[in-house]
Chains A and B, each alone.
Chain A
């Protein structure tokens, strides 16, 4: 029927207006929940915002969380451009820690600027391998990457428990974790360069994340491979016609995606904890899906969405101290609502907005109807 004829939104509305509306709705619903348990929503909002951006210390932690989300968001986005849904960011980020600790411990007495690039390569290699295997399975054996990456998350978790407890844990330590890296091999905190950040966890890996964002932009829109990758994502028959090797693209993209997720391990192992602990990824891989969705798979969008989710994590942590009536579980509820509205239900307002835009502009309406009639024949 005629209601099906809707023109895609103008780009600015798609990229800016829609996420803002989604976010506003998430906050409104969260506010209702806060209200329902007898607390003041505005005070809660204020606590989250100040907790995330209020001072250098808080903002530093926001950026620390954002760093992880930039990597996992990029991992999802790069795969998505090739039409692949990599849900395995969590497992790839987790198992990459093995690579990072494997080089960071032996090289711990070297200066950090030597350890850092080697740790990046090692993390990328192991994370990449964890993406490559599902990629290979899809390219050569037709096993769907969504299924295999989910399973690989569980395999990674099991391997990590075994490795940490049975191989990496030094004798005489009770906690399941590897030995500590010597101070020389640790990544400097940003606070060492910018005193405003004080001694927060945000470290030099943030710079790596920003480089990855720029690199991904160039890769996707300015390289031959990026062209092939986007072509595959849009129309795999056309890439076969063009003679781009679909299987090769799938394997390379999944490896790159896994390598990007693996950078979380660099941030966590040599940047924050200085050792390999269990479950350090803390579901950053899954948040990355929401970040990529909200950021429209574009590096700038991912940057903004990653900072937003970083702020929610940090602000949410602060919230429970500022308003004792809001427990940690409440914070999780608010974060989940934001993910729900900005990630899973990001298209909620789209038809309505499209209709409003078409009513506002009859020219767009005409163009939409014409485009529709071209699609359905003459």
Chain B
């Protein structure tokens, strides 16, 4: 290995261990001295990477570290300015993705490239039809799909329509597409971002099977837990450079986080014991339906007291989203009462959220880009979204724009939002900074109750620490905080009390200090499905 040692001496040991493991003939992919510049941005600096055949190789790094650029070069999306790509030991100048596919390199993108109203079979064949008539191609594909399904345990119903199947199945189709085209090396870009934990466990099972059958997997992710659970080797990138390549069994999440960020990071939140006070938020017998009229929240009751963080754990899709939307006034409830400091909130109608805010209930939504922000707006405009009626923004109907911008600037400073420019379009901020914009807006009004959905989804490790600390600071200031997250680790470390939601019901309450991941997992699965919790128990030992 010729990577420059950039950080501390603790890598020397593991680097040596990883290097000795990799003999030349075993390599499926070898990148040597890859450089890529976009104008002034040096996206990939002299990258070396060796990927062993029949292994799962993780690539971690924060947003903008250059992971996607590097994989795009391997996949023929971009051409490197300098450097060499060797596939099975032979140098190739990969010119486009068709060329990459011909060399056996397939990619599963983060955002699926599927035609929603086509069947799975049609999607697999799309672009790989071998004649003008579809019939023969489809027949052949059907046989091939059955074979692939058997060989890699990738079962799908070829006649199902894409829009009817789950996200997890759609991802399988993407993998099948790559395999159908003869891929030996599969690149997966943030594959679990859209999956439920159970679906993610399933994906990992498939990836293990693929590896055992001799396929090579390159996994791009920023979730250390996944790296620890599934990969054999892991390469860490930071600011365009390859920092290190390690054998996964020789490393741990703390070390990887430090390599990624370049400084020590606290993965576990530090907080004192909660001092709960009066009940600030109480939800009584709440029933909520989704857009299709299906009841998703079934007679849910709970309370959140001042000075405590209540976490709602559960596998995505068990009614948490509808619960959040309903309590925050975004979605009409079918029945039930939401009280804030004992006063019932009137949340009906499409301005329910406005009345909730007025009463002192702030909401950081699950999906900041779809709900919490208008990405086409400038930062200062988003900094007042939902509070535009506030007298602080001017008298009467006219907005005091200079004042609004000055207030936005203040919050940018306070929450360390980067770049510190309130006139920048919100779409140009990174995920972590976008989340800080939302948090700053919702926290700075000094609400009595703060509801946070997926506090750190798609947020860099460095920013996660900051966001968690802000939430705890609010708790210590005597506010009631409700956190919903599908990341069990996050709930366990943040919450003072855990409620578990399954199939629209609150099925249990747990103390994060004593409850084991296994117990929680069992509750999250409704106590019946044993498969998902077991997989989580297996991964438990690897998280601190």
A interface residues, Cβ below 8 angstroms from B: 1-2, 218, 222-228, 230-231, 234-235, 237-238, 240-248, 362-367, 369-371, 373-378
Q: A223-B397, A227-B381 are in contact. Are A376 and B110 (CB under 8 A)?
A: yes
When distances are taken between beta carbons in the complex, the residues of chain A under 8 Å from B393 are 224
8 Å CB contact of A227 from B96, B373, B388: B388
Q: Which residues of chain B have C-beta atoms less than 8 A from A244's C-beta?
A: 351, 354, 386, 388
> Taking the complex as formed, is B350 at the interface, i.e. its CB lies under 8 A from any CB of chain A?
yes
With A224-B397, A373-B69, A376-B68 in contact, do A242 and B385 touch (Cβ < 8 Å)? Answer: yes
Bound: A377/B330 CA distance, A: 27
Binds A, one of B2-10, B35-43, B247-255, B264-272: B35-43
A369–B399 CB distance below 8 A: no
Interface centre among A218, A248, A373 (most CB of B within 10 A): A373
Please name the residue on chain B nearest to A225 by beta carbon.
B397
A203 and B16 alpha carbons, distance in the complex (Å): 87
Asked if B329 is at the interface (CB within 8 A of a chain A CB), the reply is yes
The interface stretch among B58-66, B156-164, B209-217, B487-495 is B58-66
Q: Please determine whether A378 and B41 come into contact, CB atoms closer than 8 angstroms.
A: no
- List of 5 A-B pairs having minimum Cβ-Cβ separation, nearest first: A243-B354, A366-B39, A243-B353, A242-B386, A366-B38
> Measured between alpha carbons, how far is A227 from B378 in the docked complex, in Å?
12
Contact of B39 among A2, A235, A362 (CB under 8 A): A362
Closest to A238 in B: B374
**Are A248 and B189 also in contact (CB < 8 A) when A224-B389, A231-B385, A373-B68 are?**
no
Q: List, in ascending order, chain B residues with CB within 8 A of A248's CB.
A: 350-351
Total of A-B residue pairs, C-beta within 8 Å: 133
What is the distance, in angstroms, from B92's C-beta to the closest C-beta of chain A? 19
B364 to chain A, nearest CB (A): 10
The answer, yes or no, to whether B111 is at the interface (CB within 8 Å) is yes
Could you write out 21 A-B pairs with CB less than 8 Å apart? A2-B77, A222-B399, A223-B398, A224-B399, A227-B384, A230-B377, A237-B370, A240-B350, A241-B365, A241-B386, A242-B353, A243-B351, A243-B354, A362-B39, A364-B39, A366-B38, A376-B68, A376-B111, A378-B61, A378-B62, A378-B190
> Which of B49-57, B355-363, B531-539 lies at the interface?
B355-363
Shortest C-beta distance, B46 to chain A (Å), equals: 18
* Residue in contact with A374 in the complex, picked from B363, B371, B388, B430, CB distance below 8 Å: B430
CA gap between A222 and B385 in the complex, in Å: 15
Q: How far is the CA of A289 from the CA of B396 in the complex (A)?
A: 32
Known A222-B398, A371-B428: A247·B64 in contact at CB below 8 Å: no
Apart from A231-B377, A364-B39, list 12 A-B contacts with CB within 8 A.
A227-B384, A230-B377, A231-B374, A237-B370, A241-B330, A244-B386, A247-B350, A373-B64, A373-B69, A377-B63, A378-B63, A378-B67
CA–CA, A244 to B353, complex, Å?
8
Report the interface size class on chain B. 35 or more
Is the beta-carbon distance between B388 and A222 smaller than 8 angstroms?
no
Given the interface pairs A366-B41, A378-B61, the reply to whether A243 lies near B356 with Cβ below 8 Å is yes
Contact A377 B110, beta carbon cutoff 8 Å: yes
Q: Are B357 and A243 in contact (CB under 8 A)?
A: yes
B500 within 8 A of A: no
| Majority secondary structure of chain B interface residues (helix, strand, loop or mixed) | loop
Minimal beta-carbon separation of A270 from chain B (angstroms): 29
**Contact in complex: A228, B388 (CB < 8 Å):** yes
Chain A proximity mask over B408-422: 1 for CB below 8 Å, otherwise 0 = 000000000000000
Is B64 in contact with A378, judged by CB distance below 8 angstroms?
A: yes
Q: How far is the CB of B103 from chain A (nearest CB, A)?
A: 18
Give Cα A218–Cα B397 distance, bound, in whole angstroms.
10
- Quick check: B374 and A246 within 8 Å, CB to CB? no
Contact flags (1/0) for B111-137 with A, using CB distance below 8 Å? 100000000000000000000000000
Residues on B with beta carbons closer than 8 Å to the beta carbon of A364: 39
Given the contacts A223-B399, A227-B388, A245-B350, A237 and B68 also touching, CB distance less than 8 Å: no
Q: How near does chain B come to A132, taking the closest CB pair, in angstroms?
A: 18
Known: A223-B399, A227-B388. A374 touches B111 (CB 8 A): no
A242 to B357: give the CA distance in the assembly, Å.
9
Q: Distance (Å) between the CB of A48 and the closest chain B CB?
A: 38
One of A225, A228, A240, A363 near B330 (C-beta < 8 A): A240
Q: Which residues of B contact A (CB under 8 A)?
A: 37-41, 43, 61-65, 67-69, 77-78, 96, 109-111, 189-190, 193, 220, 222, 328-330, 349-357, 363, 365, 370-377, 381, 384-386, 388-389, 393-394, 397-399, 401, 427-428, 430
Structural contact, A1 and B350, CB atoms closer than 8 A: no
Residues in A neighbouring B354, C-beta threshold 8 A: 242-245
A243 and B386 contact, CB distance less than 8 A: yes
Q: How far is the CA of A50 from the CA of B39 in the complex (A)?
A: 49
CB distance from A378 to the nearest CB of B (A): 5
Docked pose: A362 CA to B38 CA in angstroms: 8
Chain A residues whose C-beta falls within 8 Å of the C-beta of B39 in the assembled complex: 362-367
Q: Which residue of B lies closest to A377 (CB)?
A: B110
- Given the known interface contacts A228-B388, A370-B41, A378-B222, the answer about A246 and B397 at a Cβ–Cβ threshold of 8 Å is no
Contact A378 B388 (CB under 8 A): no
- List, in ascending order, chain A residues with CB within 8 A of B67's CB: 378
User: Given that A224-B393, A240-B353, A378-B61 are known contacts, is A234 also in contact with B77, CB under 8 Å in the complex?
Assistant: no
**Nearest neighbor of A368 in chain B, beta-carbon distance:** B38
Q: Which residues of B are found within 8 Å of A241, using beta-carbon distances?
A: 328, 330, 353, 363, 365, 371-372, 386
Q: How far is the CB of A377 from chain B (nearest CB, A)?
A: 5
Tell me the complex Cα distance, A238–B371, Å.
4
CA distance A367 to B41 in the complex (A): 8
Q: Which residues of A contact B373 (CB under 8 A)?
A: 235, 238
Kindly provide the distance from the CB of A365 to the nearest chain B CB, expressed in whole angstroms: 6
Q: Given A222-B398, A228-B388, A245-B351, are A378 and B220 neighbors across the interface (CB < 8 Å)?
A: yes
Chain B residues in 8 Å Cβ range of A373: 64, 68-69
The residue among A246, A363, A366 with the most chain B CB atoms within 10 A of its own CB is A366
Known: A2-B77, A238-B371, A241-B365. A374 touches B64 (CB 8 A): yes
Q: In the assembly, what is the distance between CA of A92 and CA of B377, in Å?
A: 31
Find out whether the CB atom of A227 lies under 8 angstroms from the CB atom of B365.
Answer: no
Q: Across the interface, which residues of B come within 8 angstroms of A242, CB to CB?
A: 353-354, 385-386, 388
Residues on B with C-beta less than 8 A from A235 are: 370, 373-376
From B358, which residue of chain A is reached at the shortest CB distance? A243
Contacts of A231 in B (CB 8 A): 374, 377, 385
Residue of B nearest to A236 (CB): B350
Report A-chain residues with C-beta under 8 Å of the C-beta of B77.
1-2
Q: How far is the CB of A230 from chain B (nearest CB, A)?
A: 8
Which residues of A have CB within 8 Å of B220? 378
**Distance of B232 from chain A, by nearest CB (Å):** 21
B438 to chain A, nearest CB (A): 10
| Chain B residues within 8 Å of A240, by CB | 330, 350, 353, 371
State whether B388 touches A224 (Cβ < 8 A).
Answer: yes
CA distance A84 to B64 in the complex (A): 37
Q: A2, B78: Cβ atoms under 8 Å?
A: yes
Chain B residues positioned under 8 Å from A365 (CB to CB): 38-39
- In the bound complex, residues from chain B placing their C-beta under 8 Å from that of A243 are 329, 351-357, 386
A248 to B352, CA, bound (A): 13
A2-B430 Cα distance, complex, nearest whole Å: 21
Contacts of B330 in A (CB 8 A): 240-241
Q: Are A238 and B370 in contact (CB under 8 A)?
A: yes
In the assembled complex, which residues on chain A have CB atoms less than 8 Å from the CB atom of B65?
Answer: 378
- Minimum CB–CB distance for B324 against chain A, Å: 11
